[in-house]
Structure 1
């Protein structure tokens, strides 16, 4: 068994596609398939269920994934592991892998990174932005030690601890000259005949599903005039008068009303759990996680 085949297995498990994995790894698909077949033969089990248009992990693959991920993690950090044994100055050495949603306010993350790096200069960080499904998956397979995300992204995952960082609500952004712009809050039923600019579901399925269900509960299905892959594009289209869109209050766009010539409205009578949180596994083994969390909490004053 070689490390290269383990790395290939992890990437395929992440994408659940030989085509996408081979493109990511810059190798041919037949080469990648051969590596996995050799790995399966060596293990004596089938790791993937191969359908005509789908790929999924078998129960053996699910069991093997965290073990392979941990082996690769330790091998990637072998220099730090060896040096730690002979370290005489008591300084902490290691790597913390951090995932985050790009459109959320990451100032708190930046402050924490800077502070930890100053106090523990031999700690390294790996940062990766991702969509909610990607972050959820990366947390599950231990590719990320901690993730900054919306609570809906990590809800219902067993053994996950969440620290609330910022209250977050779903809002509506309308053009400045829209008929509803004279209000500060609206009832969802007033939006039944509006054109919506929607995020593509693959970008944020939890939020899109929640927003769609909110419309359905109020007696209509949202009429999507545009689909976009980030919040900034949606706001640009709103400011151009092309429709309205849903917006998180905990976004990283400073003063969106002025920047995009829009009006942001609260939605009356909704109860959601979309707070901005830091999530990590309760049974984590990375000793840097409690250091990072402690430093984070020294900056954080939850907005309850």
Structure 2
């Protein structure tokens, strides 16, 4: 087994206990991976490297691709399946951490926490400079009602928010159980005081929030994205900030940001950006390791 990104020691210990021989080489470059993957049966990676046809074809011995995390958008899953490779991840392990971060970002936006913290650190006592808003009584629109979206809806409902949800499948019963109501996409955008995104990256969700969608949102509404950066059109968001209350983004289309548009978005006073930390908690990382080790062992047994 080759592990090419940093993972907790407990994950490596768990795999060793299952009988795997591990070559731990965090930080391996793509070129090194292409030249050195042959001979390994399992590849463990995070989101740093693109695991595409070239990588898979470089190793006839490869049998299992294991993503240490949730998203598989850096993996050519279709080609992997055609090659007979098992592709495993840990889809439920970080849901609570991502949901909690989402609520934290919502609170930070509504109470101007970033501006206050920055002002005080610069020696400015900003008590009356930024007037905040309560979450209680506001309407939250949750786009994507999977593991994370359902937790966010429950948390927000407990805080006294009215919660609207949208999903491509009928989740009306689950929505009611979470204290929410399932509505159409455009109704959600037009009715919500804040919109939070919890969808996978697919051809259908790429830039699903763009010019038209942002224009449909209420003046002064907030946008939170803790799903995938490509879900939001950064250029459209940057141009729409005069009408929005602000945006909080844990994900960007480029990480770290390199384009001029993303650099301007990150620097904008109405925008909070965190460096893709949704799953970066002790608890989530431990759960990912436990869930993924089990998935790897099961995949190997089936070979």
Identify the structure with bigger relative contact order (alpha carbons < 8 Å, sequence gap 6+): 1
TM-score (norm. length: structure 2): 0.33
Higher gyration radius (CA): 1
Superposition TM-score, scaled by structure 1 size: 0.32
